[in-house]
């Protein structure tokens, strides 16, 4: 049994990743920001699959909260280490650059990019010592292509892609892999305000994707089978941009 941390595991893509990894019998640590009811629901669903886990509330954009929560977890779970990390928590605060407020820029960079450093720095040492680790960063089509109205989000996700490739080379010799998964349009709360009937016209597959379709590749990248894949960015976008 491996210990898995999924940031933003309470809903959407994060929940689907928790369930996919529970299928493998792993112990799932479900991080969330404020939606405890949904996080509890994820944990219930993990248990229905015969696996187990726990909730771990912290704000990924706060260095202090991340360190307190993860150091606290390590102290209470002596002998165990988190060997699989899915860096999934993310937010959107769209605005045209001309109108973008400082806090819209900073909140998105803090949550979607700075969290990379805070969470990984707390966990990477144990992965290196144990000579096994899987880090999967959930990025976005927006970070590859750039999307108008999302300069903050595109910048954060592009930054995460660069950081994924750099870290992959730093830790490869210790059998720790670092990859990114780049979804296109996926049906979750994050895209609830988008009109699928209109946007689907530009997607070659003619539809939004499901969280489970993202979780499938996350599950593979977390597995032993993916041992020679690192520094990769894998698109899950219905052919929208490849
Ligand atoms: P979602 O349904 O809005 O869920 C967001 C999740 O992130 C929730 O679990 C939320 O926790 C958590 N979260 C937000 N801010 C947090 C913080 N500061 N600290 C800890 N947790 C935080 O989003 P989603 O669509 O599943 O997106 C998941 C990831 O996929 C994000 O990184 C997003 O950028 C990326 N993505 C999504 C799409 C898409 O089309 N949906 C496309 C490309 C990339 P609470 O429940 O407590 O609020």
Residue by residue, what is the 3-state secondary structure of 21-85? HHCCCCEEEEEECCCHHHHHHHHHHHHHCCCEEEEEECCCCCHHHHHHHHHHHHHHCCCCCEEEE
Cβ contact 51:28 at 8 Å: yes
Domains recognised in the chain with CATH numbers: 3-235 (3.40.50.720)
Cβ contact 157:143 at 8 Å: yes
φ and ψ of 186, to 5 deg? -120, 140
Whether 27 is catalytic: no
The pLDDT of 122-144, averaged and rounded, is: 98
Which residue is associated with the tokens 């726990």? 54
Beta strands in the chain (DSSP E): 3-6, 27-32, 52-57, 82-87, 133-138, 176-183, 233-236
Which residues have CB under 6 Å of ligand 1?
Answer: 7-8, 10-14, 31-35, 38, 59-61, 88-91, 111, 138, 140, 183, 185-186, 188-191
Give 106-123 pLDDT, tens digit per residue.
999 999 999 999 999 999
Of 160, 157, 147, 158, nearest to 97 (Cα)?
147
Q: Residue 237 is encoded by which pair of tokens?
A: 């976008």
Of 214, 221, 219, nearest to 238 (Cα)?
214
| Marked catalytic residue, from 32, 153, 228, 241 | 153
Give 4-47 pLDDT, tens digit per residue.
999 999 999 999 999 999 999 999 999 999 999 999 999 999 99
Give 184-206 pLDDT, tens digit per residue.
999 999 999 999 999 999 999 99
Integer Cα distance of 175 and 215 in angstroms: 22
């Amino acid at each position: 049994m491996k210990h898995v941390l999924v940031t933003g595991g309470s809903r959407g893509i994060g929940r689907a990743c928790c369930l996919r990894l529970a299928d493998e019998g792993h112990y799932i640590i479900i991080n969330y920001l404020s939606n405890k009811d949904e996080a509890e629901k994820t944990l219930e669903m993990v248990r229905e699959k015969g696996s187990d886990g726990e909730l771990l509330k912290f704000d990924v954009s706060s260095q202090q909260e991340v360190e307190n929560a993860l150091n606290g977890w390590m102290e209470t779970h002596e002998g165990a280490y988190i060997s699989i990390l899915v860096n999934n928590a993310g937010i959107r605060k769209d605005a045209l650059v001309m109108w973008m407020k400082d806090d819209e820029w900073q909140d998105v960079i803090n949550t979607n990019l700075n969290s990379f450093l805070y969470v990984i720095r707390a966990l990477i040492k144990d992965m290196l010592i144990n000579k096994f680790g899987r880090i999967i960063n959930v990025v976005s089509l927006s970070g590859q292509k750039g999307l108008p109205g999302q300069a903050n989000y595109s910048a954060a996700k592009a930054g995460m892609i660069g950081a994924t490739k750099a870290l992959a080379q730093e830790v490869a010799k210790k059998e720790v892999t670092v990859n990114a998964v780049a979804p296109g349009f996926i049906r979750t709360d994050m895209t609830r305000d988008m009109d699928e009937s209109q946007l689907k016209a530009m997607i070659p597959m003619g539809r939004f994707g499901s969280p489970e379709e993202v979780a499938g590749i996350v599950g593979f990248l977390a597995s032993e089978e993916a041992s020679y894949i690192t520094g990769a960015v894998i698109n899950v976008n219905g052919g929208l941009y490849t």
